[in-house]
Amino acid sequence: MLITDIERRLHKHQPRSIDTPLPEAAVLIPLVTNDQGQATEIILTRRASHMNKHSGEVAFPGGKREDDDHNLIQTALRESQEEIDLNPASVQILGTMGPVISRFGIKVIPVVGSVPENLSLNANIEELDRIFHVPLEFFTNLDNLQFHHWSMNDKTYSMPSYQYGEYLIWGLTAIMLVEFLNVGLNTTIPLDAPQFHASHSFTQNR
């Protein structure tokens, strides 16, 4: 998929808004782009096992907005530099997605950016234990998509997930990923998640 096509689709997209006043955060969805301008991979991380929150979980680089951040794009770039040593100057911002609500009551904005191939990245071991790349074609192959059932307020939701080798991509990360695939790559993966709404407390239903 050409980066120019993804950028065009993101600019045409009208993201939802959530007016509930909540703490804000942003993540970067980094698309590795080759010399022909094609997005080939997505960069993901795994949180270190000693972290108090999200330990061992797969995530996009990102974090809470700080007072000095001019906007949430700057938040995503600052956090990406802190977590994976990604120089903001190496990122071409393509657009943003609508907010989702984490289970901790934080409003998260996904920022989509293009980064060149063969960047030297380094994991901040205070927060991460791994940086890894997943081919985009893995996510667009529906044979790799799984759904798990979650319940909240007497309603059951089908939550997407992927198993890529040793990495389970699920939860809020999978939700943001699938919404990006639907908007930016024109996939049609079903997505009905409680995180799109201001009510964010839920429990897993096995």
- CATH code for the domain of 12: 3.90.79.10
Residue 158: per-residue pLDDT: 79
Q: What is the pLDDT of residue 27?
A: 98
In this prediction, residue 161 carries a pLDDT of 94
Q: Tell me the pLDDT of the chain (206 aa) as tens digits.
A: 899 999 999 999 988 888 888 999 999 999 999 999 999 999 999 998 766 565 689 999 999 999 999 999 999 999 999 999 999 999 999 999 999 988 888 999 999 999 999 999 999 999 999 999 999 999 999 999 999 877 766 777 778 999 999 999 998 999 999 999 999 999 999 887 766 655 544 333 33
Residue recorded with tokens 């920022």: 111
Domain total in the chain: 1
Integer Cα distance of 68 and 57 in angstroms: 28
Residue 140 has a pLDDT of 95
CA pair distance 83, 131, nearest whole angstrom: 10
Length of the chain in terms of residues written: 206
Show the domain range for 74. Answer: 3-204
Contact by Cβ (8 Å): 43, 130:
no
Per-residue confidence (pLDDT) for residue 204, from 0 to 100:
37
